[in-house]
Structure formats: C-alpha cells, structure tokens
Structure 1
Amino acid sequence: MRRSLSILRWQLVCTSCMVSVALLVALLKPSAFAHPLFLIGVGLTVLAAIGVLLVPWSRVPKRAAMVVPFVDILAIGFASAVQDLRVGFLWVIPIAWLATYYSAGAIAGAVAFVCVSLIIVAAQQGTPSDTAVRVMITVLALSFLGTSIRVGAKRSRAIRRLLRRQSDQINRAAERAAGHQRRVTDIIDALDTALVVVSSEGDILKMNEAYRALYGRDRYGAQLPAQAVEYDDHRGEPLRRGRTVLARAARGEQLHGERVWLYDTSGRWRALNATTHRTARLGDGAESTLLVLDDITDQLEASEERRRMVAIVSHELRNPLTALIGHVDLLLDRDDLPARVHDQLEVMAHAGERMQRLAKMALDTGRSAFIEPEPVDLRVLADAAVELFLPTAVGKGLNLSVVGLETLMTSGDAFRLRQAIDNVLSNAVKYTPRGGSVFIRLGVSRDERAQVTVSDTGPGIAPEDLERLFEPYFRAADAVHSGIPGTGLGMGIVRAIVDEHHGELTITSRPGEGTHVEMRFPRGARLGGSPALSAPRTEIAI
C-alpha cells in the first residue's frame, strides 16, 4: 500500500507539472500544440498516470516501478522538442524520483536516457556545438542533483532505521518497566500492611489493596459511599479532617508507631500503628511521604484474651488456695502433731502462700516487674527450694543437696529470685532419672558476682533444642516423648527474672551427661540504676 501511494504521488507531481505547462502554453503560445511531439509528450504523461492508477503495485516487483520515471523522461523529451519552452527542466522530477528509491546505476541510466533524448531533440534545433554544451550542462546538473538526492535519501533512511531501532528499544524498555511496575504493584497489593504515598498537597499518589480495603477507596483514590472514620481512641472521639494520619503525613509530620483507631467500612473497630517515611522528590520537585499502617487488632485482641484468661484462672485459684492454707493453719494450731508432721505442714503453708502471691501478681496487671530491691541471701532461698522439692526427690531416689557458701548476698526481689531457683530446680528434679543427683552450688564467679548453679545428671539437652529453650511453649523432643508434663514456659520466666535483676544466665548441656544452669547476680548492687550499667546476657553452651 505504501509503495502504491509513493508511486502515485510522484507520478501525480510529474503529470500535474506537464498538464500545467500544457495549459499555460495553450494560453500564451497555442502554436506549440501544432507540434506533434509536444502533444505526444503530454499525452504520454497522462497515460502513465492512468497506468499507475490501474497497476496493482503490491504484486509487481520493486524494480518494475522504474519503468514509470523512464516513461516520464521520454515524455518530457518529446515535449522539449518545442523550441524555447524549456520543458527539459522537468527532468529533475523523474531523476529525483529515481535517486530517492534506487541505486546509482539507475540514476546513471536515467541521465544517459535524458542525454539520448536531448541529443535527438537538440540535433534538430541547433548546431552540434550547441548540442554538446547543452548535453554537458544537463548531464552535470542532473548527475549532481541525483547524487545529492541519493546521498540525502540514503542518510535519511539510515537515520530512520536508527530511530526505529531506538524506538523499538525504548518500547521494549517501557514494556519491561511496565511489567516490573505491575509485578511490584502485585507484590505490594499482596501485603497485609496498608501502604499509601501522599503528596505535600494531600493528593494520594499510590496505594495498595490493603489500604483501599481498609479505608473504602477505589483504585483511583476516590472515597466510596461507606467511609471509614478515624478515632483518637477505641470508641473515643472522631479525628478532625486535619488530624487524620493521612493529613499529618501530607504535612510532613514524622510518625513512629502512633496508635490510631479506625471504624472501617464493614463496621469493625481496628487498631492501627501509623509510621511515616519521607520518599524521593517527584519529577516536578514536589515532596511525598509514605504512610505505613499496620493492623494490630488481632494482636491486641489475642493479648486481651490471654489477660482475661490469666485473670480468670488466677481468680479461680485463689479460693481453693485460701481454703487449703486455712485448713493447714488449723492443723498447725494443734499441739498433738509430731514434729516432722508440723514441719511438713509448714512447707505446705509456705508453698500455698507463694501460690497465692503468684495468683495476685497475675491479677494485678499494673504491678511492676519486681518490688523495691532489698538485701537477699541466696543461700536461704536455695535451702527453702530444696526443702520444697525434697519429698519429690526422695520419692524418685535422687540425691538433692545444697553446697558452697553458707551466705551469699545480693539485692533484689526475694520472691522473684526464689521463683527463678524453683523453676530451674523443678526441671532438674523432674527430668533426672531415678538414682541420679541434683545439687545447688553457691559461690562467687570470676567477675565477682553471686553465682547460683543448678546441676543434674539427667539426659541433657540436644544442641538443636538448646537454642530454642526460651521460646514460649517449646519443649524438647525427648521431654515430649518421655510423657513428663510441662508447659515450656519455665525457662522463659527464669530469663526474664535474671534480666530484671541485671544478671547473667548460662546454660551448659551435653546429651547423656546432664545440664548445668548458672545464674549470676550483682553482689550488694541496688537494682534501681540503669540497665545499661549492667546489661543482662544469656549464654548457651553445648
């Protein structure tokens, strides 16, 4: 189609020029029509135009189209037979046509054909010298014109090919960028975290699916009919338009995990943590901010459910404990009890009181981690712990004892420190097989800390389980298979208590050889100082 249009355009230019000359000649010099060659030239040009319209050029070889400009050269040659009309100037049209699309050989052939036509016509109109000069000038002019046009056309085609390749490269790069952007958008839309980029003018530039669903916006940022409303607290006061997290982000305020409550489009309360990050400037120099909204509703609900469950269990424990301690007190008031029974009842009473205190601590959510520090003798705590677990140890045939210093002082919460020793000793007694040994050693570490070491000859802990010992509810595979009951919370509580007292915890264990748990505390140091002065540390050795 493009070839047909190109051939038609060139032929129409040549034909229109010949027809225009013929009309002008008819007006100014009608005698020229008496010359038969002039009429033949004009008629041949018109016939060539008609032929161009009729020929299906898409089915014709490209070189076959060269016939048309050569016919035009012949037609112009016939028309130039009329003296003084100078129709030969129109030869520039077919020469330019050939120079644009064909090789230098085609141009040379066309110039030679012009020379032949010119010689035939000029021989009838002047002397041989005039003919030679006329032919030479025409050859030089047309050759220069054809060569210049061909060089320009060749360069133009080269530039066009280069631009086409560059355009193809740009299109491929644009397609890759668009594909990359689609992939990034798909990944961001798959996130549960709500993300939105807002300009300094308050316009939403980008947002992901989580944000659209949370705030009820369509893909273009428009608000849907069911609007989400932000509140300053759960069931509190709605935030004014200028105090929403989006408006604050647009103003460039720095938010770091700021809590906001949202009543979403589905009628549910959601707790959000809002954080802002400055982003790179846009192409027009405008600033933008990324707003990150983490939905922590499920976490808060789970935390509240755990707190409620702990409160219920703790509350329900208090009544039977009160009854147990009350009856133990009644028994202790009797004078007819053997001394050993009296001592055993004392242990039961102390254990019940400790359980009551633990239940009270669980109920008192506003209580601090430990009370005001006071001097504590770790030997007294260790002896009391051994006395508590001695019946269980004797029943299993274990050797349970306390060795080392008779007095080992530290400062802290005696109740919490006793809880840590009890938890470690409970594990040692529980997992050490019959006939084994469990002992508590009290001494001073190399860094002059009060050191309590609980050692056993139990099965030990596998290296892969030792690293996970402090995970909530985690129990080693051997412990699970043994059928010994447990919750997997004890060692986590021990580490928390040691950290509260600015202490250090080290666990050394080898499968089949036993476990050693070392707790080191500052000697005589008060706990009211900054933890940075005595940072807690937990070490695990295999």
Structure 2
Amino acid sequence: MARTTSIWRWQLIFGAAVATSAVLIAGLKPTVFARPLFAAGLLMVVLVTVLVIVVPWGRMPARVAQVVPFLDIIAIGLTAQAQDVRLTFLWVFPIVWLASYYSVATILSAIALITASLLVLGTQGGALEDGILRALVTALALGFLGTSIRIGVRRRHAARRLLRRQSEQADRAERRAKTREQQITQIIDALDTALLALAADGTVFKMNEAYRRLYGRDSYGARLPSPAVEYDDREGEPLPPERTTLARAARGEHLQDERVWLFDVEGRWRSLEVSTQSIDSLFDGPRPTLLVVEDVTALREAAEARRTMSAIMSHELRNPLTAILGHIELMLDRDDLPERARDQLEVVEHAGQRMQSLVAAALAEAPAARRVFEPVDLRALVDAAVALFAPTAQAGQQRLAASGSDTVLIQGDPFRLRQVIDNLLSNAVKYTPSGGSIDIDVGVAADGQAELVVVDTGRGMTAADVERIFQPYFRAEEAVRSGVPGTGLGMGVVQGIVTEHGGSVEVGSAPGAGTRIRVRFPRRTIQSEDT
C-alpha cells in the first residue's frame, strides 16, 4: 500500500505540472495545440496517469514501476516539438523520481533517452550544432541533478540504517538493563533482610519484598490500612513520626545496629536491628542511603530460651548440690572415718563446691563489670585438677601424671583458670583408650611466659578437625561415631578464658598419634572484663 501511494503521488504531481502548463499554453498560445506531436504528448501523460491509478501496484514486481517515469520522458519528448514553449523542463520530474528510488544506471538510461529525443528534435529545423549543444547541456544538467539526488538519497538511507542500528542497539541495551534490573530485583526480593533505598532528598525509590512484608507496604510502596508501628521497647511507647528509623535515615542520620521493636501488621512483636550505609551514585552530589533492617526476633527468643533453660537447670542443680555438700560435711565431722576415705570425700567436696560456684554464676543476673586478677599458682591448680580426675583415669586404666616446676605464678582468675585445666583433662581422659597415658607439664618458657602442656595418647584428630576445634558445638566425626558423650563447647570455653588472660592456645594432633595442647600465659598483671 505504501508503494502504491508513492507511485500515485509522483505521477499525480507530474500530471498536475503538465496540466497546469497546458492550461497556461491554452490561454497564452493556443495555436500550439494544433501540432499533432504536442497534443499526442499531452494525451500520453493523461493516459499514463490513468494507468498508474488503475494498475494494482501491490501485486506487481517492484521494478515494473520504473517504466512509468520512462513513459513520462517519452511524453515530454513528444511535446518538445513545440520548442518555443519549453516543456522540456518538465523532464526534471521523472529524473528526480528515478534518482529517488533507482540506481545510477537507470538514471543514465533515462538521460540517454532524453538526449536522443533532443538530438532527434535538433535535426528538425535549425542548425545541427545548436541541437547537439542543447542536448549535451541538458544531459549534463539532468545528469548532475540526478546524480546529486541519488547520492543524497544514498546518504539518507545510510544515515537511516545507522540510526536504525543504533536504535536497535539502544533497544537491546535497554532490554538487557531491564533484564538485569529484574534479576537484581528478584535476588533482593528473595533476601530475608529488609532493604530500603532513599534518594538524597529523603524520598524512597526502592524497597524489597522483605521490607514491604515487614512494614505493611503494598507492591508500590504505599502503606496498607494497618501499617506496622515502631516502639522504643517491647510493649513500650510508640516512636513519634520524626524518630522512626525511616525518618532518621531520610535526614541523613547514621544508624549502626539500632535496636527497635516493631508491632507488625499481623499483630506480632518483632525485634529489629537497623543500620544505614551510603550507596555509590553515578552522579555528583549527595549519595543515596540504604536502610538495612535485620529481623533478630528468632535469635533473641532463642537466646532468651537458652537463658531461661540455663537458669532453670542451674536452679534445679543447686538444691541437690547443697544436700550433697551438707552430707559430705557431716561425714567429714565423724571421728571414725578412715584417712583414705576422708581424702576422697575432700576431693568430692572440692568438686561439689566448684559445681556450686558454676551454678551460682549461671544464676547471676549480670556478671561483675570488671575483675581484678590476683596471683595464682598454676601448679597448685594443676595438682588439684589431677586429684579430681585421678579416680576416673584409674578406673579407665589410664596413667595420669603432672610434672614440671613446683610453683608457677601468674596473674589471673583462679576459678576461670581451673575451668581451662578441667576441660583439657576431661577431654584427654574421655578420648584416651584404656592403657593410654595423659601427661600435664607446667613450667616457664624461654621467653618468660608460663606454659601448660597436656599430652595424651588418644585417638587424635585430623588437620581439618584441628582447624574447627574452637568452633561452638563442633565435635570430630570420629568422636561422634565412637559414642563418647560431649557438647563440643569445652575448647571454645578454653580459648575464651585463655584469651581473656592474654594467653594463647596451640593444638597439635594426628589420627592415631594422640593430641598435644600447649597453653601459654603472660606473667604480668592483667585487668580484664569478665564476659
């Protein structure tokens, strides 16, 4: 349809120009119509125009249409018999038509046809030289016109193709950008952490699904009829609008793990930790802000449950311990008690007292803010621990021995240091088979630090197990398969206490070759928080 319209337009413009010229000639010089070829040329233009309108160009081959301007050239050539009216100027129309759509060869063919027409006319009256000169000048002028138009058309087509390719590239880049944005949005929406992005002026331009769900926003970011409300504490006072985390972040305040309570749209209390951080911007000026909201309700409830369970268990242990210690004290008051039995009961009493201290520490609502370490004889603590584990080692047919310096003084908490020694000996006894040995040596290293070394001939550990030994609840796979009871907390406790005292722990072990643990303490006064 577009091609048909174009052919109609070109032919109708040409026909209108010819018709206008004919009207002017009829009014100014009507005798020209008496010339047969002139009249035939005008009639041919009319017939070609009617033919153009009638032919179904949409079903015709594209190159057939170029016949029409050639027919127009012939028609103008017929009218050129009347040289005094100069209708040959109308050859410009078919030349421009051909130059707009067809090749240079087609244009040259049309110019050759025009030149031939002029040469034929030049032989009919007048000087031959004048006819040839007129034909050549006309051919050159029309050739220049057609070539210039053709070059311009080619450039226009090249520019159009370039623009189309650039447009396609821009479209592909836009589609890729939209695809990446959708992928990033899907990833962000899949996060459990609530995220909200604020522009430099404080307006919200992005939020993920977790934030919308947590704060009761719809997919467009607007508030739902029952929005969530932030509180200063659980069941405390609601925060005023200007003190909400969103308002503070919009003002540019820096938040770092701010604790906020939220009463959400489902009527549940949630404990949140809120932080802000700046986002890199592609433009100069203030940087956008990212509001990060972590829902720590489950962690807080789990910690509270553990504290409650610990308090309950500790409370339940205190009563039987009190009864045990009371009866031991009564037995120690007896005069008929054998000396060996008295020694064994004293060991049990000391263990019960330490257990009672552990229970009391667990029941305490808050530890002391700061503890001043005191001089402690590390060898005395080792001897007491060896005495405690000696019956267990003897029952397991294990050799347990302490050696080294008679006195090694350090600064520390005797209760916490005894926990370190007890945990190390407990592990050594548990994982050393019958007939094995456990040696604990106390002394002072060449650099002046106190040194405690525990060596056993147990089953040992792999290098991967050694790397994870201080992780909470970690137990070696071999230990789990053997059925030896344990929680995997002991070595973490050891590392925490030793670090608190400014010391270090080194573990060396290999499967089937036992384990060697060296603990080092500085021999100086340390002020430390009791955590």
Q: What aligned pairs does 1:256-271 form with structure 2 within 5 A after superposition? A: 256-271=256-271
Structure 1 residue aligned with 2:420: 420
User: SS where residue 327 of structure 1 aligns?
Assistant: helix
Whole-Å separation in 2 of the counterparts to 1:78 and 1:316: 125
User: SS where residue 224 of structure 1 aligns?
Assistant: coil
Whole-Å separation in 2 of the counterparts to 1:286 and 1:85: 76
Whole-Å separation in 2 of the counterparts to 1:213 and 1:42: 81
8 A Cα contact 1:369 1:500, kept in partner: no
8 A Cα contact 1:250 1:288, kept in partner: no
Structure 1 residue aligned with 2:197: 197
Whole-Å separation in 2 of the counterparts to 1:256 and 1:49: 83
Q: Give the TM-score taking structure 1 as reference length.
A: 0.92
User: SS where residue 261 of structure 2 aligns?
Assistant: strand
Q: What aligned pairs does 1:22-421 form with structure 2 within 5 A after superposition? A: 22-121=22-121, 124=124, 126-281=126-281, 283=283, 285=285, 287-368=287-368, 371-421=371-421
- Name whichever of 284-293 and 254-263 sits farther off: 284-293
Whole-Å separation in 2 of the counterparts to 1:129 and 1:271: 106
Structure 2 residue aligned with 1:536: none
Structure 2 residue 527 is matched with structure 1 residue 528: yes
Structure 1 residue aligned with 2:471: 471
Distance 1:229-1:49 versus aligned 2 partners, 3 A rule:
farther
User: SS where residue 160 of structure 1 aligns?
Assistant: helix
Q: CA deviation at 1:405?
A: 0.9
8 A Cα contact 1:18 1:42, kept in partner: yes
8 A Cα contact 1:83 1:125, kept in partner: no
Q: Could you report, residue by residue, the CA deviation over 1:228-269 in whole angstroms, capped at 9, with x for unpaired residues?
A: 222222222222222222222222222222222222222222
Whole-Å separation in 2 of the counterparts to 1:30 and 1:216: 90
User: SS where residue 233 of structure 1 aligns?
Assistant: coil
Q: CA deviation at 1:27?
A: 4.5
User: SS where residue 424 of structure 1 aligns?
Assistant: helix
Distance 1:63-1:368 versus aligned 2 partners, 3 A rule:
same
Q: Could you report, residue by residue, the CA deviation over 1:149-206 in whole angstroms, capped at 9, with x for unpaired residues?
A: 1121122222222222222222222222222222222222211112221112222122
8 A Cα contact 2:370 2:528, kept in partner: no
Q: CA deviation at 1:374?
A: 1.0
- Name whichever of 390-399 and 112-121 sits farther off: 112-121
Whole-Å separation in 2 of the counterparts to 1:123 and 1:279: 86
Q: Could you report, residue by residue, the CA deviation over 1:276-334 in whole angstroms, capped at 9, with x for unpaired residues?
A: 22223355856421222222221111111111111111111111111111111222222
Q: CA deviation at 1:35?
A: 4.3
Whole-Å separation in 2 of the counterparts to 1:272 and 1:46: 88
Query: Which amino acid in 2 is paired with 1:160?
Result: R
User: SS where residue 275 of structure 1 aligns?
Assistant: strand
User: SS where residue 198 of structure 2 aligns?
Assistant: strand
Distance 1:442-1:268 versus aligned 2 partners, 3 A rule:
same
User: SS where residue 458 of structure 1 aligns?
Assistant: coil
Structure 2 residue aligned with 1:538: none
Structure 1 residue aligned with 2:486: 486
User: SS where residue 112 of structure 2 aligns?
Assistant: helix
8 A Cα contact 2:475 2:488, kept in partner: yes
Whole-Å separation in 2 of the counterparts to 1:250 and 1:128: 92
Whole-Å separation in 2 of the counterparts to 1:512 and 1:137: 110
Q: CA deviation at 1:426?
A: 1.0
Q: CA deviation at 1:367?
A: 0.4
Distance 1:119-1:217 versus aligned 2 partners, 3 A rule:
same
8 A Cα contact 1:370 1:413, kept in partner: no
Alignment gaps of 5+ in structure 1: 532-542
Whole-Å separation in 1 of the counterparts to 2:216 and 2:75: 77
Query: Which amino acid in 1 is paired with 2:443?
Result: G
8 A Cα contact 2:277 2:289, kept in partner: yes
Distance 1:318-1:529 versus aligned 2 partners, 3 A rule:
closer
Name the count of aligned residue pairs: 530
Whole-Å separation in 2 of the counterparts to 1:212 and 1:46: 74
- Name whichever of 35-44 and 475-484 sits farther off: 35-44
Q: CA deviation at 1:70?
A: 0.6
Whole-Å separation in 2 of the counterparts to 1:281 and 1:393: 67
- Name whichever of 497-506 and 102-111 sits farther off: 102-111
Q: Could you report, residue by residue, the CA deviation over 1:360-388 in whole angstroms, capped at 9, with x for unpaired residues?
A: 11122410487421111111111111111
Tell me how large the CA RMSD over aligned residues is: 2.3
User: SS where residue 527 of structure 2 aligns?
Assistant: coil
- Name whichever of 368-377 and 177-186 sits farther off: 368-377
- Name whichever of 215-224 and 371-380 sits farther off: 215-224
8 A Cα contact 2:370 2:529, kept in partner: no
Query: Which amino acid in 1 is paired with 2:488?
Result: G
Query: Which amino acid in 1 is paired with 2:98?
Result: L
Q: CA deviation at 1:145?
A: 0.7
Structure 2 residue aligned with 1:537: none
- Name whichever of 396-405 and 113-122 sits farther off: 113-122
Whole-Å separation in 1 of the counterparts to 2:197 and 2:262: 19
8 A Cα contact 2:121 2:131, kept in partner: no
Q: CA deviation at 1:425?
A: 0.6
Distance 1:315-1:54 versus aligned 2 partners, 3 A rule:
farther
